[in-house]
Amino acid sequence: MRCPFCQSEQLKVLESRSADEGGSMRRRRECIECEQRFTTYERVEFSPMIVVKRSGSKEVYSRDKLISSMVRSCSKSEISALTIDSIVDSVEAEMYKEYGREIPSTALGEMVMQVLKQREPMAYIRYASIFKNFNSITEFLDEIQKLDSKSLVGHID
């Protein structure tokens, strides 16, 4: 491991603790040369998951791509980056448990939408509008009407 600031390999671990409910290890580190501090996470590395697209093409699952899509959907909500990481951790655990090595993109999208629907209905609508590729206002409105009206209270300006 190298310091992200000066690239030195002279590091010391200041603190280690379990994170993500035991799913990873969080380590606080300090560079001996430049004295900058930073945090690293150690996660179990699974064999690569393959996402099967609607077209039938396949691509290697990208955690960063999933996080990026969720950040866009949650950008105007109160969901923090830490919460998004936690959601992605739970989706990944479910994904590996249910699908093994290949997952249809539709199943992955449905997993994310299910979590967002429960936590942040407006982020869910944003994510669904992209994932489901709405072609008309009617499709968009139909999806909104499927939500429980109580879950939208306080989210509509």
pLDDT at 19: 81
Has residue 31 been placed in a domain? yes
Q: DSSP assignment of 17-75, as one string? A: EEEGGGTEEEEEEEETTT--EEEEEEEPPPPPPEEE-TTS-EEE--HHHHHHHHHHHHT
Q: Mean pLDDT throughout 116-138?
A: 87
User: CA of 109: how far to CAs of 18, 38, 59, 116, in Å?
Assistant: 29, 33, 15, 11
| Domain shared by 28 and 66, yes or no | no
Has residue 156 been placed in a domain? no
| Domain shared by 61 and 127, yes or no | yes
| Domain shared by 38 and 93, yes or no | no
pLDDT at 52: 96
Query: Which tens digit of pLDDT belongs to each residue from 62-115?
Result: 999 999 999 999 988 888 988 998 899 889 989 988 998 899 999 999 999 999
| Domain shared by 68 and 97, yes or no | yes
| Domain shared by 36 and 106, yes or no | no
| Domain shared by 104 and 132, yes or no | yes
Range of the domain at 87: 50-150
Query: Which tens digit of pLDDT belongs to each residue from 27-76?
Result: 999 999 999 999 998 987 767 899 999 999 999 999 999 999 999 999 88
How many structural domains are present in the chain?
2
In terms of Cβ atoms closer than 10 Å to its own Cβ (0-12, 13-18, 19+), residue 156 is exposed
Is the pLDDT at 154 greater than 70? The verdict is no
pLDDT at 148: 63
pLDDT at 157: 43
Is the pLDDT at 23 greater than 80? The verdict is no
Place of tokens 């300006």: 157
| Domain shared by 30 and 58, yes or no | no
| Domain shared by 16 and 93, yes or no | no
Question: Max alpha carbon distance in the chain (Å)?
Answer: 60
| Domain shared by 16 and 70, yes or no | no
pLDDT at 109: 94
| Domain shared by 68 and 28, yes or no | no
Q: Which of 81-85, 121-125, 145-149 has the least mean pLDDT? A: 145-149
| Domain shared by 26 and 60, yes or no | no
Has residue 3 been placed in a domain? no
> What band does 156 get if pLDDT is binned at 50, 70 and 90?
very low
| Domain shared by 30 and 72, yes or no | no
